[in-house]
């Protein structure tokens, strides 16, 4: 039997919006999330006690579709929001949520590893808070980025936090540079218009300045800066419908162990893991996508080294360097189609940076979890394929296995988004929770255990 994963409802975020909620963005360091609603507001909730902290109103004239937290901020949080009103809002707030809800976290980023229990006080503890303060005023509207012609669908900050990518039904992707000049000035760095339809999602590489985008034109495209110009370096065709969402593999999924369905000894497993790391190091993090075509697919970049110096790299597998892309062009290949798990369009996919689990959700109201597992020699032989020795130079293969399904996770409602976040409520041990966001406005937090 494959190891199964149990999805358990931990809590709702309350009170919820009464209208469709599109997306939940977990803060990179603080135990808070921002949710985007059709009621034109952004709600900020605590993951410590699952209650509403702030409601940001008055900035957008139509549905708020998307939001993203700027990384590497210290002492202040910066949120970018994208709306159907074609604008992107930038909001700022001095960090003090930790004091307010007594969680003992929040003022500095340095304490993010502090245990969540022990120091936790009652959420309604008196003293530190200023109860009569107007919560909404704490969020300062910084600037409105104007440029798109129609609904903004997605926003994403680059790993450094210097660049913000935005995309729209107007088929364009804009890259803005945060000048960080204390005056909230953003400069337009590039406008890319190669997509043939709405751009549904933009997502930055976890460390490099490489942007991935997904579109109504059924393609995924990758973008990099070459000398001074931003340009397309790859166009991935494979999906047979709108590509709704993208996420990157973590660069250091230390907890993913590629458990096989057969029992493998510890030493064998660590050998497999070492081989896997060297085999995949040159490709870099993979990309996962989900689509209207009811599939979730994983894409891998063909390593440049193997394209150009295939024979020199011991980690390559003798793939002849037939294709020699010029310039910055990259070749991306389909690495896997994940097991079928959805009967309706799949709106979101999330690749855990911590455990390597992939979660997907969509219009069928189902949350599915997938795990990548090594294929052992025994399985290969059973499958009648060539008896490749997985421990002595053969190409190590993996299979994606459906390890958990939660039907009707939000009752009868469609689920628009799913995200991984660090668990922060009392008694948690630093594991992750899954946060799902639905058409009735509800936002649910789930634990994922074996």
Site for another protein, rule CB under 8 A: 20, 38, 62-63, 65, 84, 150-151, 153, 169, 198, 200, 216, 242, 292, 343-345, 347, 363-366, 407-408, 412-414, 439-440
Q: C-beta of 407: minimal distance to another protein in Å?
A: 5
Distance between CA atoms of 31 and 11, rounded to whole angstroms?
15
Task: CB nearer to another protein: give 338 or 363.
Answer: 363
For residues 24 and 417, the answer to whether their CB atoms sit within 8 Å is yes
Task: CB nearer to another protein: give 61 or 140.
Answer: 61
Task: CB nearer to another protein: give 84 or 446.
Answer: 84
Task: CB nearer to another protein: give 70 or 153.
Answer: 153
Task: CB nearer to another protein: give 209 or 414.
Answer: 414
Q: C-beta of 358: minimal distance to another protein in Å?
A: 21
Task: CB nearer to another protein: give 153 or 353.
Answer: 153
Q: C-beta of 82: minimal distance to another protein in Å?
A: 12
Q: C-beta of 241: minimal distance to another protein in Å?
A: 8
Task: CB nearer to another protein: give 341 or 448.
Answer: 341
Distance between CA atoms of 186 and 18, rounded to whole angstroms?
34
Cβ within 8 Å of residue 36, ≥6 positions away? 21, 22, 23, 24, 25, 42, 63, 64, 65, 66, 67, 81
Q: C-beta of 261: minimal distance to another protein in Å?
A: 23
Task: CB nearer to another protein: give 301 or 444.
Answer: 444
Instruction: Name the one residue in this structure whose structure tokens are 């469609």.
Output: 414
SS (H, E, C) the chain: CCCCCEEEEEEECECCCCCCEEEEEECCCCCEEEEEECCCCEEEEECCCCEEEEEECCCCCCCEEEEEECCCCCCEEEEEEEECCCEEEEEEEECCHHHHCCCCCCCCHHHCCCCCCCCCCCCCCCCCCCCCCCHHHHCEEEEEEECCCCCEEEEEECCCCCEEEEEECCCCEEEEEECCCCCCCEEEEEEECCCCCCEEEEEECCCCCEEEEEECCCEEEEEEEECCEEEEEEEEECCCCCEEEEEECCCCCCCCCCCCCCCCCHHHHHHHHHHHHHHHCCCCCCEEEEECCCCEEEEEECCHHHHHHHHHCCCCCCCCCCCCCCCCCCCEEEEEECCCCCCCCEEEEEECCCCCCEEEEECCCCEEEEEEEECCHHHHHHCCCCCCCCCCCCCCCEEEEEEEEECCCCCCCCEEEEEEEECCCCCCCCCEEEEEEECCCCEEEEEEEC
Q: C-beta of 42: minimal distance to another protein in Å?
A: 17
For residues 221 and 235, the answer to whether their CB atoms sit within 8 Å is yes
Task: CB nearer to another protein: give 169 or 221.
Answer: 169
Q: C-beta of 381: minimal distance to another protein in Å?
A: 32
Q: C-beta of 294: minimal distance to another protein in Å?
A: 12
Q: Report phi then psi at 122, rounded to 5.
A: -60, 140
Q: C-beta of 280: minimal distance to another protein in Å?
A: 34
Task: CB nearer to another protein: give 101 or 198.
Answer: 198
> Omega of the bond prior to 229 within 30 degrees of 0, cis?
no
Q: C-beta of 166: minimal distance to another protein in Å?
A: 15
Task: CB nearer to another protein: give 49 or 360.
Answer: 360
Q: C-beta of 60: minimal distance to another protein in Å?
A: 11
């Amino acid at each position: 039997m494959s190891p199964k994963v149990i999805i358990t409802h931990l809590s709702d975020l309350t009170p919820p919006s009464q209208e469709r909620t599109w997306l939940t963005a977990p803060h990179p360091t603080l135990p808070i999330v921002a949710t985007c609603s059709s009621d034109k507001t952004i709600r900020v909730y605590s993951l410590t006690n699952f209650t509403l902290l702030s409601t940001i109103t008055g900035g957008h004239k139509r549905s708020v579709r998307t939001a993203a937290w700027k990384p590497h901020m210290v002492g202040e949080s910066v949120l970018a929001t994208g709306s159907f009103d074609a604008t992107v809002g930038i909001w700022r707030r001095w960090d003090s949520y930790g004091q307010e809800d007594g969680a003992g976290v929040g003022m500095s980023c340095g304490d993010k590893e502090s245990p969540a229990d022990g120091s936790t006080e009652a959420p309604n503890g008196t003293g530190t808070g200023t109860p009569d303060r107007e919560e909404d005023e704490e969020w300062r509207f910084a600037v409105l980025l104007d440029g798109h012609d129609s609904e903004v669908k997605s926003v994403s900050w680059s790993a450094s936090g210097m660049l913000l990518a935005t995309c729209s039904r107007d088929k364009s992707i804009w890259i803005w540079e945060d000048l960080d000049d204390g005056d909230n000035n953003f400069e337009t760095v590039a406008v890319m218009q190669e997509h043939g339809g709405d751009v549904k999602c933009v997502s930055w590489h976890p460390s490099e300045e490489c942007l991935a985008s997904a579109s109504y034109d059924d393609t995924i495209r990758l973008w990099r800066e070459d000398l001074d110009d931003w340009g397309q370096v790859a166009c991935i065709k494979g999906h047979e419908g709108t590509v709704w969402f993208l996420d990157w593999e973590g660069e250091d999924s230390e907890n993913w162990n590629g458990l096989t369905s057969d029992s493998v000894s510890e030493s064998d497993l660590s050998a497999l893991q070492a081989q896997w790391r060297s085999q995949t190091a040159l490709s870099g993090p993979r990309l996962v996508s989900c689509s209207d075509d009811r599939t979730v697919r994983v894409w891998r970049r063909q390593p440049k080294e193997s394209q150009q110096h295939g024979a020199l790299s011991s980690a390559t597998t003798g793939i002849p360097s037939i294709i020699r892309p010029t310039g910055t062009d990259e070749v991306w290949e389909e690495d896997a189609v994940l097991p079928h798990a959805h009967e309706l369009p799949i709106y979101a996919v999330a690749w855990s940076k911590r455990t390597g689990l992939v979660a997907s959700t969509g219009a069928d109201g189902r949350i599915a979890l997938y795990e990548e597992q090594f294929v052992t020699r025994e399985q290969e032989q059973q499958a009648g394929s060539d008896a490749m020795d997985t421990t002595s130079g053969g190409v190590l293969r993996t299979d994606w296995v459906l390890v958990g399904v939660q039907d009707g996770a939000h009752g009868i409602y469609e689920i628009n988004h799913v995200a991984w976040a660090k668990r922060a409520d009392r008694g948690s041990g630093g594991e992750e929770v899954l946060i799902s966001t639905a058409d009735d406005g509800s936002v649910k937090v789930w634990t994922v255990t074996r």
